[in-house]
Structure 1
Amino acid sequence: MNVLVVGAGAMGRWFGKSLDCDLAFTDADPAVAERAAEQVGGKAVELDTSETFEAVCLTVPLPAVDDAIEDHAEKAETALLDLTGVMAEPISSMAKHAPDKERVSLHPLFGPENAPGNVAVVAAEPGPVTDEILSALKSRGNTLVETTPEEHDEAMTTVQAGAHTAVLAFALSANSVPEGLRTPVYDSLADLTEQVTSGDSRVYADIQAAFDGAEDVAIAAHDLADADPTEFERLYRTAKMKTNRAEDESEDEL
């Protein structure tokens, strides 16, 4: 099998490393594609190459996914995949531009440095080629989580947009604290802050633009800041109840 990876950044390289096949990389920056080919193996091709491949996987920034699918769908002989982090839009776009192809949307729920992990999967039109790719990801220790575009994108409002907003808001509002005066809760938040801020700011900005969730966090923070002790206790109990409910649902799924 030969596969073209469109977008040769960190996730594109992770995807390429996960496969045992003939790889080609392309990118808006040819030098990035060249480096990916050197690091992962395979070759670099021009963005407008006329060459075709059994499978094409789009690992481009969120705002570019629709245009990328339109531009590169014809290069896919059998299968078209995306690995962008949003699912409703690419699933719809792939159906429009590659109706006769195998079509799968993937979202690794981790950064490449934290692999392996859970990979969300919407297999809109699976087949032998995409099955082989999914099998390769699973053999690398990843857990494939089947979902729907709607369920995935709704979850990302909390899992990504809301969580990132909460962590970055803490980072922006926190004062410097002497080592001996820190608490376990503070240290946990500080660790999360370091993890989030070690990434690519553009990626986080794209996530905020793609998913709602930030406003709900801002409203909750405002409510807590304005609450008198009685109201604060009520909000605390509500938070505890929601946390316990989420834990119970997770146990039920197991």
Structure 2
Amino acid sequence: MDVLIVGAGAMGTWFGGAVDGRVAFADVDRDAAAAAADAVGGAVADLEGGATYDVVCLAVPMTHVTDAIADQADRAERAIVDVSGVMEPALEAMERHAPTAERASLHPLFAPERAPGTIAVVRDRAGPTTDDLLAGLETRGNALLETTAGEHDEAMETVQAATHAAVLSFALAAESVPDGFETPIYEELRRLARQVTGGTPRVYADIQATFDGADAVADAAAEIAAADTDGLESLYREAAANWHGGPDDRRGDRE
């Protein structure tokens, strides 16, 4: 299986090392393509070349995936897939520009350095090529989470957009405290803040630009800040009900 990977960042490099086949990388930064190829034993391809491949994988930022599909779809002989992280727009573009090809959207729910892990998968137009590709990913220890594009993108509003907004808000609002004052909850938030802020800013910006979720976090924070004691207790019980499956009045535990 010959695979063209368009995008030689961390996720494209991961895909090149995880897929069974001969891989080539094309990127606007040819040096990045060469580095990815060296990392996984692949080759470098021209971004605007005419060579075709069994599979074309778009591993570009989610804000650019539809344009990349339009530009590269005719290079796919059998299948076209993406690992951009947004599914509905990507699959709509694949259907429009590669109507006869096998089509799948994959979202590894982990950073490449933490592979293997769970991969959300939509088999939009399944076939033997994408089946073999996905089976190879499973063989490498990844778990495939079959879903729909709508279910995935709606989930990402909470899993990514709202979660990142909450952690980044804490990272911006928190002030340093003397050693010894840490609580378990603070330490966990501090760990998350360090993890998130150790990533790539553009990736987090693209997530916020693509998925709703941050506004809900801002609204909840404003509601908490404005609440009086009774209001805050009510909000606390509402939050507890969301996570514990029903009304959660814990006042008796503290009395």
- State if a TM-score over 0.5 links the two structures: yes
Give the letter aligned to residue 229 of structure 2. Answer: P
Matched residue, 2:94: 94
CA distance in structure 1 between the aligned counterparts of 2:20 and 2:117, rounded to whole angstroms: 19
Task: Report 1:209-224 matches (<5 A).
Answer: 209-224=209-224
Q: Which runs of 5+ in 2 are unaligned?
A: 247-255
2:167 alignment partner in structure 1:
167
User: Where does residue 50 of structure 1 map in the other structure?
Assistant: 50
In structure 1, C-alpha distance between the alignment counterparts of 2:212 and 2:155, rounded to whole Å: 10
Structure 1 residue 179: Cα displacement: 2.1
Which residue of structure 2 aligns with residue 196 of structure 1? 196
Deviates more, 1:96-105 or 1:237-246: 237-246
Offset, 1:245: 3.1
Structure 1 segment 49-68 matched on structure 2, within 5 A: 49-68=49-68
Q: How does 1:34-183 map to 2 (within 5 A)?
A: 34-183=34-183
The normalised TM-score by structure 2 is 0.95
Aligned residues: 246
Larger Rg: 2
Post-superposition Cα deviations, 1:27-50, rounded to whole Å, max 9, x if no partner, equal 011110001011111100110111
Q: What percentage of aligned pairs have identical amino acids?
A: 54
In structure 2, what is the equivalent of residue 26 of structure 1? Answer: 26
Please give the per-residue CA displacement for 1:154-201, whole angstroms capped at 9, x wherever unaligned: 001000000000000000000001220110000000010111111100
For 2:244 and 2:108, the matched residues in 1 are separated by 26
| Equivalent AA in structure 2 for residue 38 of structure 1 | D
Question: Secondary structure of the residue that 1:180 maps to in structure 2?
Answer: coil
Structure 2 residue identity aligned to 1:73: A
AA in 2 matched with 1:133: L
Runs of 4+ in 1 over 6 A off after TM superposition: none
What is the rounded CA distance, in whole Å, between the counterparts of 1:47 and 1:83 in structure 2? 18
Cα distance in structure 2, aligned partners of 1:2 and 1:54: 5
Distance 2:77 2:179 in 1: 58
SS at match of 1:181: coil
Structure 2 Cα separation of the partners of residues 212 and 119 of structure 1: 22
Q: Which amino acid aligns with 2:177?
A: V
- CA distance in structure 1 between the aligned counterparts of 2:175 and 2:163, rounded to whole angstroms: 20
Counterpart in the other structure of 2:240: 240
Deviation at 1:241, TM superposition (A): 0.7
Q: CA deviation at 1:21?
A: 1.1
Q: Distance in 2 between matches of 1:117 and 1:38?
A: 24
Q: CA deviation at 1:223?
A: 0.6
Cα deviation, 1:41-84, whole Å, max 9, x if unaligned, reads: 11001101111100000000111111100110010000000110
How far the C-alpha of 1:224 sits from its partner, in A, is 0.6
| CA positional deviation for 1:141 | 1.2
In the TM superposition, what is the alpha-carbon distance from 1:20 to its structure 2 partner? 2.3
Query: What is the TM-score normalised by the length of structure 1?
Result: 0.95
